[in-house]
Amino acid sequence: MTPPYILAIDQGTTSSRALVVDAGGAIIGTGQQPLTQHYPQPGWVEHDPEEIWSTTLDAIGVALAQAGLALRDIACIGLTNQRETAVAWERATGAPVHRAIVWQDRRTAGICEDLRSAGAEDEVRQLTGLKLDPYFTATKLTWLFRHDPALHRRAMQGEICVGTVDAWLTWKLTGGAVFATDFTNASRTLLFNVKRGRWDDRLLDLFEVPRAALPVAVPSRSKYGFTSEQVFGCRVPITGVAGDQQAALFGQAGFAPGVAKNTYGTGCFLLSNAGRRASVPDSGLLLSLGAGTGLQGPEFVVEGSVFVAGALVQWLRDELGLIRESAEVEALAASVPDAGGVTIVPAFTGLGAPDWDPHARGAILGLTRGVTKAHLARAALEAIALSSAELIEVMNASLPEPIRELRVDGGAAVNDLLMQLQADFAGIPVLRPQSTETTALGAAFLAGLEAGAWASTEEVAELWRPERVFEPRLGSAERHRRLRDWRRAVERTLGWAG
């Protein structure tokens, strides 16, 4: 244990977590509390903001106890969070006025369609770098205000605060003294002009969101304020905040173009540093601000989202019964040399980047009588790797230099066969770090840099170490053939439910 000690809060979709990190980048305490998922209607997903706060507090307590420390021993706090989720609360009391509307929620699809029909898509894309989709925060706020006009009037008068989860937790940590968000989270709302680095009046009008209700937006590395003495009994500075995917890229030491990270969870989130100058991709990829945005100007990241990754393995386990535990998929898939000509396109809820087709549906192609459950297991792992490999190929056209290596994290990153398939289909080395807690570490690094625990990103980069490197083994011709076949299969699923 090497002081100073940094507390990293990682508030996610299914749980709230806290880690205590020392100056060597080692994790010396961890706490985690599950978060209840509310589904009031089909396609709706909500969280209780007070439960987000209480589970965060509980996780902090467990992490500190495990580390044998008190909060007064902590030098600074970093925060990372589920992005796009919308929270609204009263400025005077801090009481939530509605459950948080989660990023997965699809209730605003009709609002998006109306805006698209009105011709707003291109303008929104150019200003924000994003797609007009229920995924993002703005239409969730539109829905909230349309369903409660009195709330909208109060928001216009500054009586209501709205923001993403980071703004809510910063407010709670500081006892209501600070109402702020960081540039990475702001750039995922559809309300923020990523080129100018500020809330955009045209977007606020379009989505009917009052400026008076929004937090101030500041760089990820900032002096946000101090923990409330009334809540915690001591004042600890909050010095780093970033949305989870940008925090993970920072935690993977993705400080310059040429490095990308891929998080293998329920879906896959592929991010690459795009440097200080970037244009909105025309390939279905998203442009957002990175955690390095600050005094030296903007730092852009290009992002591609694959909706189904680990969820495909869960489907093999829960719906098809091919395996009893998710971890069994690797051995089953490795028992055959290939997928037997089978391709699975897991478009269970449509397709994300680069197609963005909500009407696509899943398909299993190439079935013959000789196909076994082992072939299906291997085809599932290949589908995860091929979807990300295609994104890397598309992404390279939008970057100042091509991706040289892929750094990986998330639950499925422990699957050696999947990582080897990823290296083969992407044609670049895949590096798995010694610690896959890259999201929380990214928050810790941001906070520690601002507080002086580390002098530079170069010093932080030396803390990142690979546990294993997977080198590509597939020849170029075969790799391109597999990607062509994948594209052919994907095209057969497009528009199926339309």
pLDDT in tens, the chain (498 residues): 677 999 999 998 888 999 999 999 999 999 999 998 899 988 888 999 999 999 999 999 999 999 999 999 999 999 999 999 999 999 999 999 999 999 888 889 889 999 999 999 999 999 999 989 888 999 999 999 999 999 999 999 999 999 999 999 999 999 999 999 999 999 999 999 998 999 999 999 999 999 999 999 999 999 999 999 998 999 999 999 999 999 999 999 998 888 999 999 888 999 999 888 878 877 789 999 999 888 778 899 999 988 888 889 999 999 999 999 989 999 999 999 999 999 999 998 788 888 888 788 999 999 999 999 999 999 999 999 999 999 999 999 888 889 999 999 988 899 999 999 999 999 999 999 998 889 999 999 999 999 999 999 999 999 999 999 999 999 999 999 999 999 999 999 999 987
Give the pLDDT of residue 204.
Answer: 97
Provide the pLDDT for residue 2.
72
Report the alpha-carbon distance of residue 309 to residue 268 in Å, rounded: 6
SS3 per residue for the chain: CCCCEEEEEEECCCEEEEEEECCCCCEEEEEEEECCCECCCCCCCEECHHHHHHHHHHHHHHHHHHHCCCHHHEEEEEEEECCCCEEEEECCCCCECCCEECCCCCCCHHHHHHHHHCCCHHHHHHHHCCCCCCCCCHHHHHHHHHHCHHHHHHHHCCCEEEECHHHHHHHHHCCCCCCEEEHHHHCCCCCEECCCCEECHHHHHHHCCCHHHCCEEECCEEEEEECCHHHHCCCCEEEEEEEHHHHHHHHCCCCCCCEEEEEECCCEEEEEEEECCCCCCCCCCEEEECCCCECCECCEEEEEEECCCHHHHHHHHHCCCCCCCCCHHHHHHHCCCCCCCCEEECCECEECCCCCECCCCCEEECCCCCCCHHHHHHHHHHHHHHHHHHHHHHHHCCCCCCCCEEEEECHHHHCHHHHHHHHHHHCCCEEEECCCCHHHHHHHHHHHHHHCCCCCHHHHHCCCCEEEEECCCCCHHHHHHHHHHHHHHHHCCCCCCC
Cis peptide before 42 (omega within 30 of 0): no
Q: How far apart are CA 29 and CA 62, in angstroms?
A: 8
Which tokens in the block code for residue 130? 């994003």
pLDDT for residue 95:
97
- Decide: 53 and 169 in contact? Cβ < 8 Å: yes
Question: What pLDDT is stored for residue 1 in this prediction?
Answer: 66
Q: pTM of the predicted model, to two decimals? A: 0.90
Q: Whose CA is closest to 80, among 5, 161, 185, 171?
A: 185
Per-residue pLDDT at 372:
96
